[in-house]
Amino acid sequence: MAVQGEIIDKTAAMIAAPVPAADWLVIAPVLLPILAGAVLLMIRHSVRWHAVLSVAVLAVLVGANGLLLRRVLAEGPVSMTMGSWLPPFGISFTVDALGAVFSLTASIVAVCCCVSSVRDVDATGRRYGFYPFLLLMMAGVSGAFLTGDVFNLYVWFEVFLISSFGLLILGSEKSQIDGATKYAILNLVGTTLFLIATGYLYGTFGTLNMADLATKAGQIGDAAPLMTLASLFLLAFAMKAAAFPVNFWLPASYHTPPAITGALFGGLLTKVGIYALLRILVMIFAVEGVALAGVIGWVAVATMLLGALGALAQSDIRRIAGFLVISGVGTMLAGIALGGNGGLSGAIFYALHSMPALSALYLLGGLVRQRGGSFSLHQLSGLYGASPFLTLLAFIISLAVAGLPPGSGLWPKVMLVRAALDSGAWQIAAAILLSGFLATIALGRVFILAFWRTEIAGVQAVAGGSMSIMGCCAVVILTLAMLAMGVMPEPFVRVSGTAASGLLDASSYVRAVFPGGGGS
Amino acid sequence: MQTLIFRTAAPYLTGLMLMFSVFVLLRGHNEPGGGFTGGLIAASAFGIHGIAFGVPAVRRALNFHPMAIAGFGLFVAAVAGLPSLVFGVPFLTGLWSAPSFFGISVDLSTVMIFDIGVYLVVVGSFTSIALALEDREHD
Amino acid sequence: MEAVLAILVGLFFAGGIYLMLSRHIIRILLGVVLFGNAVNLLIFTNGRVMRGVPPIIAEGLDVPAGAVANPLPQALILTAIVISFSFFAFLLVLAYRAYQQIGTDDTDGMRVAEPVADGLPPMGY
């Protein structure tokens, strides 16, 4: 093949134009963590280097994602097709504002979690691969946000899924094994459903390139069972995002690993499901997505309310956080159901708020455990007296998660409620407000019981230790980020709006992949 | 499975399978075969060795931890895409050269480096899983 | 040919889902494997079946001479097989560990992570 390369005319199949080095930004957020994760696997016994190297690589990742976002906002979507094969034959990585901003936020959350883990993950956890798994999971999450190919999206789903299994069972406690079994089986079924849908998608269109699909789905009309396909994708991604009624794996597993792992999962993983829903149901199956809006709307209402009610019924802080993750997923689904620029940008902004907010909530749970000695509301008390600093953090984070000012949750909810009222979807507006109210009660109760109450009658006080400084730093950074979102929402609203309009009008996304116009 | 026949045959079987796995790996260049298949054959070779002589013997023979091998493979596979940066082509583009050794032209490519990486990832991860399943005392 | 394969895929799905409805982890796992194989066969069928014409371009030509078997579904299936195989290996180890630590493979008995007696949070001071 190589020897007779001259006689074969490859211009119809291969990319001929040189690729500027700057385009490698598209692949860098995936490549960096993979390389670093591989190096860490090789030096698995030199555990001293793991934390330092991970924090450094994740910091570089934040920088690369930042540059990528700046470029995408300035020039529109960027695309690179692997192996020089022309799209749609090669696997494309296509980054638009949505992918870039999600990827950036995810890397910021990851670097904070990594910083907070420096002192908290012991040598055993490190030798069993906490940091390699963390980096490979980030590679999977970034890959899912940046790829422009449906099958490749499936592969990245599996990459972060299998790394998350590794993180989830690290420590091998009974409850972890139990939670991980349910998490692993249900998520495997979910991704298999995704694969089924992908198989039918290929059978119908003969292509899996997202830009190509976005062009063709509008033209094919009634000639193919697109509604079935869209529903299958909805089921698969709803399972991944933990939407009602396929959410039961999340509260069964997310509270079992250490708080840092919970923070990573709660902050990042469900958002990948939401991202995939936005990409597939809004950008590719635009017509079918609108037709499914009624279903998604009621699913969103049920998810929001059941998440909030579930949070009310728990006494373990981490399980409360788990149910609040579900409630947040419902809020983002509500934005997808409402559609239009208002609803979608609300959903995107909510996702940007939810990543740091829920990570901070889990990390806060870890700090409460360190200071107060327990996760249970039956045993915690008097933290206000013990640590006013922790109380302040908890107060701000609770406000942000519940969607009250000056936290970051307020503005996306305002956008969503306004979009709901504009389109007459009163049930969605009511559910957003009611679930926010219930979440306020749930978090307020945590605050009253764990922080304000001075002593518990008849219960032996649990001795607490001191909080890790790195953990505090990470929570402070996340809290500041949330305050920034709450106090100066304009840039975030603008970016969310750009991302939403990029989804609603895919022409610039398609142009980035097929500069000459058209598809295959 | 500690029968005399099996224990006598196992070292030869392991050696043969390892050699065959490398053959399959390199054959994947232009014909059916490749890193994944080769890696599976090599991992089953280590599995057989483990059944015959016990898991510690395999761990000693491997010298490196299986996951470290897998990590090295992942590193090699990812690095195989990097020369593209220098040549101004997209990530993971196959770059070929055909240097001549003693008059015989040998096709070398980044694709092969990638495949060797895949081979090592599969050897490492599946050996590690096989050993975990065989290791009774540890669990 | 496609019709036969489609029916087979349906049977695989039915068997897989039936096994997954069981309470025992090991049967659920077998169901998951069957389910995964059904999906692989589904992708294969979706790529349209053609026998005996491997997708190899003859020397000197730029494109295949006639219709050839579709290689892309095979690449997709290979990836999916690799992934589902590693998942199954992992799940098998996990289920074994769960059986050792929790002492049951009955999902109704696996309530360590979500204890039944957890109760409600305190309703007052």
Residue of A nearest to C28 (CA): A185
DSSP string, A435-484: HHHHHHHHHHHHIIIIII----TTSPPPP--PPPHHHHHHHHHHHHHHHH
Counting the structural domains of chain B, the total is: 1
Distance, first Cα to last Cα, chain C? 71
Residue C84: pLDDT over 70: yes
Nearest Cα of chain C lies from the Cα of B115 at a distance, in angstroms, of 14
Going by pLDDT thresholds of 50, 70 and 90, the confidence category of residue A465 is confident
Which residue range(s) make up the domain with B88?
Answer: 4-134
Least confident of A157-161, A460-464, A504-508: A460-464
**Per the domain annotation, does A7 fall within a domain?**
no
Q: Residues of B with CB below 8 A from C86's CB?
A: 125-126, 129
Q: Residues of C with CB below 8 A from A198's CB?
A: 43, 76
Characterise A459 by phi-psi region: left (phi > 0), alpha (psi -120 to 50), beta (else).
Answer: beta
> Which of B71, B88, B107 minimises the CB distance to A18?
B88
Q: Residues of A with CB below 8 A from B72's CB?
A: 38, 41-42
**Per the domain annotation, does B73 fall within a domain?**
yes
Q: CB B139 to CB C96 under 8 A?
A: yes
Which residue range(s) make up the domain with A320?
Answer: 12-513
Residue of A nearest to B105 (CA): A3
Residues 6+ apart with CB under 8 A from A366: A116, A120, A258, A259, A260, A263, A471
Residue A21: pLDDT over 50: yes
Q: CB A44 to CB B88 under 8 A?
A: no
A312 touches A402 (CB < 8 A): no
Q: Between C71 and C7, name the one with better pLDDT.
A: C7
Least confident of A62-71, A118-127, A219-228: A118-127
Distances (CA, A) of A457 to A381, A447, C79: 11, 18, 59
Average pLDDT over every residue of A484-493: 91
pLDDT for residue A458: 57
Residue C41 contacts A where some CB pair is shorter than 8 Å? no
Q: Which of C12, C78, C87 to mutate to test the interface with A (most CBs of A within 10 A)?
A: C87
Query: pLDDT (tens digit, 9 = 90+) per residue, B3-39?
Result: 888 889 999 999 999 999 999 998 887 777 788 889 9
Closest to A411 measured CA to CA, from A307, A290, A493, A491: A493
Q: What percent of chain A has pLDDT over 90?
A: 51
Residue listed under structure tokens 């929790």: C102
pLDDT for residue A9: 61
Query: pLDDT (tens digit, 9 = 90+) per residue, A381-407?
Result: 878 888 888 899 999 999 999 988 888
Distances (CA, A) of C108 to A239, A256, C24: 21, 18, 9
Nearest Cα of chain C lies from the Cα of A196 at a distance, in angstroms, of 6
**Per the domain annotation, does B88 fall within a domain?**
yes
Residue A459: pLDDT over 70: no
Residue of C nearest to B126 (CA): C86
Residues 6+ apart with CB under 8 A from A123: A47
Characterise A488 by phi-psi region: left (phi > 0), alpha (psi -120 to 50), beta (else).
Answer: beta
pLDDT for residue A7: 52
Residue A517: pLDDT over 80: no
> Which of B65, B71, B90 minimises the CB distance to A81?
B90
**Per the domain annotation, does B39 fall within a domain?**
yes
Residues 6+ apart with CB under 8 A from A68: A25, A26, A28, A29, A78, A95, A100, A103, A104
Q: CB A179 to CB C113 under 8 A?
A: yes
**CA dihedral in degrees (A83, A86, A90, A91; nearest 10)?**
100
Can you name the residues that pair with A316 across neighbouring β-strands? Answer: A376
Average pLDDT over every residue of C92-113: 83
User: Helices B35-53 and B110-134, interaxial angle, to 10°?
Assistant: 30
**Per the domain annotation, does B70 fall within a domain?**
yes
B18 touches B45 (CB < 8 A): yes
Query: pLDDT (tens digit, 9 = 90+) per residue, A182-210?
Result: 899 999 999 999 999 999 999 888 889 99
**Per the domain annotation, does A150 fall within a domain?**
yes
Going by pLDDT thresholds of 50, 70 and 90, the confidence category of residue A491 is very high
**Per the domain annotation, does A152 fall within a domain?**
yes
pLDDT for residue B129: 84
Q: CB A189 to CB C120 under 8 A?
A: no
Q: Residues of B with CB below 8 A from C78's CB?
A: 36
| Domains of chain C, CATH where assigned | 2-50+69-106 (1.10.287.3510)
State the ipTM, two decimals.
0.93
Nearest Cα of chain C lies from the Cα of B133 at a distance, in angstroms, of 7
**Per the domain annotation, does A368 fall within a domain?**
yes
**Per the domain annotation, does B139 fall within a domain?**
no
Q: Residues of C with CB below 8 A from A158's CB?
A: 83, 87
3-state SS, residue A319 = helix
**What is the spatial distance between Cα B15 and Cα B23, in angstroms, rounded to a whole number?**
13
Residue C47: pLDDT over 90: no
Residues 6+ apart with CB under 8 A from A196: A232, A236, C39, C42
**What is the spatial distance between Cα A181 and Cα C25, in angstroms, rounded to a whole number?**
9
pLDDT for residue A518: 52
Residue A8: pLDDT over 60: no
Peptide bond preceding A406: is omega within 30 degrees of 0, i.e. cis?
yes
Distance of CA A48 to the CA centre of its chain: 29
Q: Residues of B with CB below 8 A from C96's CB?
A: 133, 139
Counting the structural domains of chain A, the total is: 1
Closest to A210 measured CA to CA, from A273, A280, A274, A304: A280
Q: Residues of B with CB below 8 A from C89's CB?
A: 126, 129, 133
A423 touches A431 (CB < 8 A): no
Ranges of chain B whose pLDDT falls below 50: 138-139
Q: CB C89 to CB B139 under 8 A?
A: no
pLDDT for residue B138: 46
Chain B positions contacting chain A at CB under 8 Å are 30, 65, 67-68, 70-75, 78-79, 81, 84-85, 88-94, 96, 98, 105, 107, 109
Residue A366: pLDDT over 50: yes
Distances (CA, A) of A514 to A14, A151, A312, A334, A350: 13, 19, 50, 33, 31
